[in-house]
Structure 1
Amino acid sequence: MSQYPTRVTESGVSVVRPDGRLNMVAAPALRRQLHELVDAGNTRVVVDLSATEFIDSSGLGALISGLKVARQAGGDLRIAAPTRQVTTVLELTNLNRVLATYDSADGAFDGDS
């Protein structure tokens, strides 16, 4: 299974960067990776979608699942730099109201402690 590149910002935020298609094939790996990050104590997570060319309902489900576990652990999950296709899907599903979107992964938690 795919393990997406992960890094930690200076402020301790974990950033995951899925690439390509986030569909029913790839979504389970992202869901698992997000859960593992939170289980390891990384409760502030950003999913950098700048390299994600396509997302479907399975990909959205992985993001919502990650959001849920992060919030249950006292943190949050935010998304950064979504491509046009991802932005369109978020708007059509109204998930842009649930998933906070930021221009950059490094700025997603600016102002938060």
Structure 2
Amino acid sequence: MTVVPDDHLMTLICDTCGDTVKATACVLPDAEVVWTLVSEQGWSGSPFATGPHRCPHCSLLPLSDGGQAACGEHGPGGILGIDHLDDVTVVAAAGDVDLDSGDTLRTALRHAADMGGHVVVDLSRVHLIDSTGLGHLVRAHRDARDRGATLCLAAPSRFIRTVLHTMRLDGAFPIFDSREDALAQLSKAPALERPTAAAATATRS
């Protein structure tokens, strides 16, 4: 999701650099149409809330063959792999995690839950995530918590961190700079014990 509604305001998030701008939303017949907000702020991209959108700076960057800024290429979302390491399952996602690829992530997370241990979602190769992807992560996090396990996010991009912060979800998950950091922290905890937020912060610093 690259446009985040908040009462009468909307936050635009640049798909390339993660910069944001908040402005008054213009009520249109279709709430998904945000072209007036995009154009008034000097941004470029899709007239729809699902994007892509680029800030004025990134709009000046040369485009790759795929039509995106050269510094941030995107593609269909998918699962690169599922690794079982002791009592931790690592789900490695890639590309754009959105409505089209959400079922793939949901299936992978369900399989990880069936394994019964902690879960690390490796986001290092994920470019974008929308409300569908976030919903699957939140539900998987709650399921893990209910069974006494932990679901961690590893290596989210600046854009994904911005989306999590804007949606007030950055405090819901332990977030680590890398897959290795997440696994190291989980290995220090007794089986199926949730790492504290302070421990996650210490690992990132």
TM bin, normalised by shorter chain, reads: 0.7 to 0.9
Higher strand share: 2
Structure 1: state its 5+ residue gaps: none
Matches within 5 A, 1:1-113: 2-9=78-85, 11-41=86-116, 43-108=117-182, 109-113=186-190
Task: Say if 1:4 and 1:30, in contact at 8 Å, map to a contact too.
Answer: no
Task: Say if 1:3 and 1:33, in contact at 8 Å, map to a contact too.
Answer: yes
TM-score with structure 2 setting the length: 0.50
TM-score with structure 1 setting the length: 0.87
Structure 2 SS opposite 1:8: strand
Give, in whole Å, the separation in 2 of the partners of 1:56 and 1:104.
21
Name the larger-Rg structure.
Answer: 2
Structure 1 segments, 4+ long, off by >2 Å, are none
Task: Say if 2:79 and 2:91, in contact at 8 Å, map to a contact too.
Answer: no
User: Quick one: higher RCO (CA 8 Å, sep 6+), 1 or 2?
Assistant: 1
Q: Tell me the C-alpha RMSD between the 2 structures.
A: 1.5
Task: Say if 2:164 and 2:170, in contact at 8 Å, map to a contact too.
Answer: yes
Higher helix share: 1
* Count of paired positions: 110
Give, in whole Å, the separation in 1 of the partners of 2:115 and 2:176.
24
